[in-house]
Amino acid sequence: MKITRRKRFVIAGIALVAAVLFLVTSSPFQQWLLRRVESRAAGAGYPFKAERLSLDFTELKASLNGLRYEKAGQTVQIENLQIDLPWDALRGGDVRITSLEADGVVVDIRASDSAPGQTTSSPSQAPGRRLRIDRLSIRKASVSYSSAKTSLKIPSLSIEAKDGRGVIQLDTPASISPNLTVALGQLPFAMGDDDAQFGPATWKVQHAKFGASGSAEGLIRWSPKFSLETQVTTDPITVKAFKDIRLNAKATYADGELDITEFRASHGGGDIAGSAKISGAGSSTSLTWMDFDLAPAGVIARTHGTLQLKWQRSDFTDISGQGKVNLDSRDYGLSEADIQVADAKVTVDARTKLPSLSIRSRISTELDRLLAGDFTVFRGTARGSIQPLAKRTPYERLGTINVAAAAVFQNNILTVRGIEARSNRSTASGATLQVNLTNKRIQGNVPRVRVDLQDMTADASGAIHLSASIDGSISRPSASFTGTSEGLTIRNVPVDELKLEGALGTNSPGGKEITGKLSG
């Protein structure tokens, strides 16, 4: 049979196509193509390596094994990546992927220690094609992030999505530092062209000192710039002695700034509300609380007030601000305080009003322990004045009493040492006082008191030297004391070498009474 020229061209074309198909589907050609793609990607700033490429042109499928991307402290490894493309993958100017599956994904990000104020930004890119993935499946993935101050590790997670809707599942809790773990229930999400909605999803946080759980939902945008909006609500939580605290907060993140637009905590009928902005250029926070019960902390009182703070350094050493606090206590009366924070110190100007006394004090303390996260110990110095208010009392003629002391608050115990007091010609020095706010017990010692009788009455002159020890409770104090006279004259009658022994206590009806013995 004679083969025509036209048939020879057809046979040659078929043979050529077969040869080309054999070539492009052969393993050597596909590995050569992989190396060419690796070279071009490295030149474009996306260096990656892969062990093997497999292409199926008839089904428009591709798979990569042993993929590794590493650049600027960011490492991504994928054991197996499979991509399935439709024949109209580039239709309408967008890129469409029928299916993307990845197994054994490992993401490791190590942040560089940049100087304060420096940020690393990516160059802006012109708008490109939109990417649409009909089905996404990521299995056995792990993510870790570490910097000089933060460590995050997600041992195992999976992502399943279809037509832009899916679920993220943490198979095991994530760890943030050695003492904090976060467990997450199924996190549903819905993908848009430029954003993704997530939640609501349940979460549980476990710390060495506290635990919490709740729900979260929000929105992530990546075009025209990255931003995050979220709302978090907690179940009733316990923070030390404070139980059944409920928290909810709304926050946004964009351009390197975290903006907590609303924060609210409720406990015992009282509320704490606030807001905050945190960024490298400067941070600030504002808090307001109303009718907050301090009884769980051992103080039978309710408080309300405001506090505004601002800072720029990450260690808070430049923190400054001011606030006002009101304290209404059955045991301590009504107190008001103005707070000033500057140069890593806090100064409190306090005013307390009791039924018969008005007390003013100025307390200064260092913020080093607070800045280090230690809220168990406070140290400071105090200066103030005590003004008698009631008439016809033994101390009416004393007038204003000026007081100075050093104080330490630790383990819910207030210890005041080196108490110095003066009013007119009367003085006290070297006194100590300890108040246990847990059991309301008090204990103290007053070694040296000199009372000039002209400060007490117009009918006497001279002085009384006293020493005393203090005991009892805040509501029922007691004391024992001894005293001697010096140059004592009563209504122009000299009285020599008087000696006094006595005690202060509480009688059955609850009133104060003094018993004593006078000799000489």
**CA–CA dist 426, 466 (Å, integer):** 11
Which residues neighbour 515 within 8 Å (Cβ) at sequence distance 6 or greater?
502, 503, 505
The answer to whether the predicted template modeling score (pTM) of the entire model surpasses 0.85 is no
On the question of pLDDT at 459 being above 70, the answer is yes
Residue 30: pLDDT band (50, 70, 90) is low
Averaged confidence pLDDT in the chain: 81
Q: Which of 186-190, 453-457, 463-467 shows the lowest per-residue confidence on average (mean pLDDT)?
A: 453-457
Mean pLDDT, residues 25-50: 77
Question: Which of residues 475 and 106 earns the better pLDDT score?
Answer: 106
Question: Which of residues 436 and 23 earns the better pLDDT score?
Answer: 436
What pLDDT does residue 46 have?
76
**CA–CA dist 415, 436 (Å, integer):** 9
**AA identity, residue 129:** R
On the question of pLDDT at 166 being above 90, the answer is yes
- C-alpha distances out from residue 483 to 185, 448, 463, Å: 72, 10, 10
On the question of pLDDT at 119 being above 50, the answer is no
**CA–CA dist 430, 447 (Å, integer):** 6
Sign of the Cα torsion 375, 376, 379, 383 reads: positive
Question: Which of residues 46 and 335 earns the better pLDDT score?
Answer: 335
396-407 pLDDT, tens digit per residue, is: 667 788 889 888
Beta strands 95-110; 131-146: pairing state: parallel
Percent of the chain with pLDDT over 90: 23
Residue 120: pLDDT band (50, 70, 90) is very low
Which residues neighbour 138 within 8 Å (Cβ) at sequence distance 6 or greater?
101, 102, 105, 157, 158, 159, 160
CA 43 to chain centre: 44
On the question of pLDDT at 33 being above 60, the answer is yes
Mean pLDDT, residues 22-42: 71
Residue 311: pLDDT band (50, 70, 90) is confident
What pLDDT does residue 118 have?
43
260-304 pLDDT, tens digit per residue, is: 988 898 887 788 999 999 887 889 999 998 988 887 766 778 889
178-225 pLDDT, tens digit per residue, is: 778 889 888 999 988 788 899 999 999 887 777 889 999 999 887 777
**CA–CA dist 391, 402 (Å, integer):** 20
What pLDDT does residue 124 have?
43
Which DSSP category does 468 fall into?
A: E
